[in-house]
Structure 1
Amino acid sequence: MVPEEDVALVACMVNLHNVGTFNTDTGSKVGYLNELEKMLDKVLPHAMLKAKPNLESMIRTLKRDWAIVYDMRSGKNNSSFGWDKHKQLVVAEDAVWNSYIN
């Protein structure tokens, strides 16, 4: 994924959530990918992102990455990880990273 596309995708997803039309709480999830495609086409017209397979894949990747960060910060592996609020990223000593990766 391209960072610019990630930022635009998340911004559009937040907008969809705030509008409430495609909020999973209301049970109206159908069609949200097509709406995201339209929104992203306005923001990134040359990216040519399609609901399937592009947006599905991007959302799957974001969910996977979110789960990893959530686990580091709040889950079973959170004791040695911190958060840099200025850089907005997970921080840890090198030994902690090496242990987590291996």
Structure 2
Amino acid sequence: MLKAKPNLESRIRTLKRDWSIVYDMLNGKNNSGFGWDEHGQLVVSEDAVWNSHKEADQFIHRSFPYYDQLTAVYAKDRAIGKDAQIAVDIIEEIDVEDVA
């Protein structure tokens, strides 16, 4: 077994999580005001939009160079329709369940 396997699996999980957040910012139900800078490979928006989406703070000045490639891999696995949830919704549900 490769010693690097746990590290690789962790990196893949992190990339998928980060991709999911960026994808939801650009395509999700709360995406108003977010855009994608193809040259800089980062999410762009006005300060007021960033301030209203605190969960997205980590991406204010952070490039995400593999976004297009990860979209090709993961986008087809995304749920769509009335029952689809974005990562923020799922995290909020988990937090509510933990409190109850």
TM-score, reference length from structure 1 = 0.49
Larger Rg: 1
Q: Which has the higher contact order (CA 8 A, sep 6+)?
A: 2
TM-score, reference length from structure 2 = 0.50
